[in-house]
Amino acid sequence: MSVRVRFAPSPTGFLHIGGLRTALYNFLFARHHGGSFILRVEDTDQERTVPGAVENIIEMLRWVGLEFDEGPHVAGPYGPYVQSQRLELYQQQVQLLVERSAAYYAFDTPEELEHMRERQRRAGIAPKYDRFSMRNSFTLPPDEVQRLLAEGAPTVIRLLVPLDQEIRFHDIIRGEIAVHSHDVDDQVLLKSDGFPTYHLANVVDDHFMRITHVIRGEEWIPSTPKHILLYRAFGWEPPQFAHLPLLLNPDRSKLSKRHGDVAVEDFRQQGYFPEALLNFVALLGWNPTPDRDIFTLDELIASFELNKVNRAPAIVDRKKLDWMNAQYLRMLPVDRLAHELQPVLHSLNYPEFPSEYVARVIALLRERVDRLPEIATFGDYMFVPPRHYDWEYFRKYWHEELPAWLEELSAVLEHLEPFVTERLQQRIRQFAEERGQPLRALVHPLRLILTGKSVGAGMFETMEVLGKAECIRRIRIFLTEQLPTIAEQMRTA
RNA sequence: GGCGCAUUCGUCUAGGGGUUAGGACACCGCCCUCUCAAGGCGGAAACGGGGGUUCGAGUCCCCCAUGCGCUACCA
């Protein structure tokens, strides 16, 4: 039987990186075994469903390169893939359970349930549906039950959990897990609005969609016994289970927005590469080989093994993501990067530049930043003349004769051909030596004049990319507009 | 409270009876150097505690502690 797995988000918000990892592991498992990767939308809670959430989830997964084989947007033989479109199926199936006495009707109001829990809390016992004291088909006479049903009174259907039984199941990641039926609640299966709860819909769909492996978050471990009970009651073979460890904030709390960005969309917006984000998230809870950290999707697929996934939760470390993204920034082809940087340059209102030029700037600066968009800000001087100068830096290398040298150097550069790194290096070094100065006495002022900053790529490489005309222009502007006043300050200071 | 899951450097992890407990990020130092990076070299840094089992436990078992999850007509 071929492997079939599903990613089953509820459309209640944006895809966050925990969801991304769950989707990724499902995807890796499916691809590794040549199986199918299915999207199923679990929108059984009318109140919490957020319009547009499904589209966002699909778009984010597509952005990182995870494509589904079946789902609401691609169809498939086991649809519909949206639970709100399968209500009739759940209702039919749960009816079977009632007929087999594996489930029963209950008529309690929310207030009655609240009172029950209040009593239990005061008595110091675990809150759990009390089958024998509430209003349901156990406590009510049959004709009364019939009457309530006929009247259309608010009704739910609950799972009849066996009284004294150990429920056990095997988890691929964690091994045997056992829970006593005492500790399993008579879970609502069909809500009074006719919608199924997660538990019912999940089991029914996994069965009819022929899901072979359920790979989901650890928070589902406590309800898996209910699912096992349902499979038994239906007489179906349960799928295999694998519960993934949680992803945590740096303070070990459950991943949340309050601790920074968690939505995949946020990372995209900040200029992280999809490859880097996916690579990073893949290594939270699993690693293909301990000797390196950078893997292609194909490599991840080839080495993925569910039973090698860790059991302990993992903390999301932004620093490592930054490092990983930087690795990709250095190895991705510059023409792609240039293409992606153009919109950023545009949004910053920089003039238009040919991709050829943008590519050269990227090659020049990519080792100095973590994310592509930073090139536009860190290297702003490659696109517009410096507007601010780091005078502190300038002061450090100030020399009485600097104004004169700059005049002379400007003339020298005018005649330098070709205007390339090696020639610049050689000529400026010679220029400094002729004046009994170390190279840095010229390079630093030049850097300030050309870039406004104290940091950046190699000066000669930078000059070559900037081009002769622009270099000379910036020196001339500096000489006439900045130097007269600044020189005066330097002398008096 | 009950039930469940988990526990190796600060973080991600390798390890599955015999290891100087390895790698990566971050951190510190040195080298390189026109600055900043990158890179190279080096450093500091971990098996939560207690009992067992065994000739021998990070590795197996039990207890405790701690953390997290679940405990809805949410998923």
Hits for CB < 7 Å against strand B across A residues 188-227: 188, 191-193, 195, 197-199, 218-223
**Phi, psi dihedral angles at A40 (to 5 degrees):** -130, 130
A14/B46 CA-to-C1' distance in Å: 36
Q: Please state the domain count of chain A.
A: 4
Q: What is the CATH number of the domain that holds A346?
A: 1.10.8.70
- Protein-covered nucleotides of chain B (CB closer than 7 Å) are 1-8, 10-14, 22-26, 34-38, 67-75
Residue A78 lies in a domain: no
Range of the domain at A19: 1-72+245-331
Output Rg (C-alpha) for chain A, integer angstroms.
33
Is residue A250 located within the same domain as residue A327? yes
**pTM score, whole prediction:** 0.95
Does one domain contain both A254 and A240? Answer: no
Whether A81 is covered by a domain: the verdict is no
**pLDDT score recorded for residue A493:** 63
Is residue A221 one of the residues assigned to a domain?
A: yes
**Nearest nucleotide from residue A184 CA, by C1' atom:** B3
A227 falls within a domain: yes
DSSP code per residue over A299-327: HHHHH--GGGS-SS-EE--HHHHHHHHHH
Distance CA A428, CA A425 (A): 6
For β-strands A36-39 and A4-7, DSSP reports them as parallel
Residue that is last in its domain, among A195, A213, A244? A244
Within 10 angstroms of residue A205's Cβ, the number of other Cβ atoms is 22
Task: Kindly state whether residues A205 and A95 are assigned to the same domain.
Answer: yes
Residues 277-306 of chain A with CB under 7 A from strand B are 283-287, 290-293
The A36-39 sheet, strands edge to edge: A36-39, A4-7, A213-217, A240-244, A166-171, A175-180
Looking at the fold, whether A364 and A473 belong to one and the same domain comes out as: no
Task: Assign residue A437 the CATH number of its domain.
Answer: 1.10.10.350
Active site residue A254: no
**First-residue to last-residue Cα distance in chain A:** 83
- Residues 67-106 in A having a C-beta less than 7 A from any atom of strand B are none
Classify residue A352: in a domain, yes or no: yes
State which of A315, A349, A383 marks the end of a domain: A383
Nucleotide nearest to A370 (CA to C1'): B37
With respect to residue A80, please indicate whether it lies within any of the assigned structural domains.
Answer: no
Whole-angstrom distance, CA of residue A158 vs CA of residue A24: 34
- Asked whether residue A390, judged by its CB, lies under 7 Å from any atom of the DNA or RNA strand B, the reply is no
CA of A293 to C1' of B39 (A): 18
**Tell me, in Å, how far CA of A368 is from C1' of B30?**
21
> Catalytic one among A226, A254, A257, A308?
A257
Which residue, A197, A218, A244, sits at the end of a domain? A244
Q: Which residue has the tokens 């299966």?
A: A189
Give the CATH number, domain containing residue A49. 3.40.50.620
- Whether A205 and A126 map to the same domain: the answer is yes
The reply to whether the CB atom of residue A254 sits less than 7 A from any atom in nucleic acid chain B is yes
Kindly state whether residue A285 falls inside one of the protein's structural domains: yes
> What CATH number does the domain containing A134 carry?
3.90.800.10
A175 and A118 fall within a common domain: yes
In chain A, count of helices (H) and strands (E)? 21, 11
Q: Please indicate, yes or no, whether residues A350 and A451 belong to a single structural domain of this protein.
A: no
A443 CB inside 7 Å of strand B: yes
Pairing of strands A213-217, A240-244: parallel
Is the distance from CB of A274 to CB of A65 less than 8 angstroms?
yes
The verdict on A367 and A408 lying in the same domain is: no
Residues A40 and A91 in one domain: no
Residue A481 lies in a domain: yes
A221 closest-nt by C1' vs CA: B4
**Interface predicted TM-score of the whole assembly (ipTM), two decimals:** 0.95
Q: What does each of the 493 residues of chain A score in pLDDT, given as a tens digit?
A: 799 999 999 999 999 999 999 999 999 999 999 999 999 999 999 999 999 999 999 999 999 999 999 999 998 999 899 999 999 999 999 999 999 999 999 999 999 999 999 999 888 888 999 999 999 999 999 999 999 999 999 999 999 999 999 999 999 999 999 999 999 999 999 999 999 999 999 999 999 999 999 999 999 999 999 999 999 999 999 999 999 999 998 888 878 777 778 899 999 999 999 999 999 999 999 999 988 999 999 999 999 999 999 999 999 999 999 999 999 999 999 999 999 999 999 999 999 999 999 999 999 999 999 999 999 999 999 999 999 999 889 888 888 889 999 999 999 999 998 999 999 999 999 999 999 999 999 999 999 999 999 999 999 999 999 999 999 999 999 999 888 888 777 777 6
Same domain, yes or no: A214 and A298: no
Q: A109 with A240, same domain?
A: yes
In this structure, are residues A173 and A241 in contact, taking their beta carbons and an 8 Å threshold? no
- A356 and A425 both lie in a single domain: no
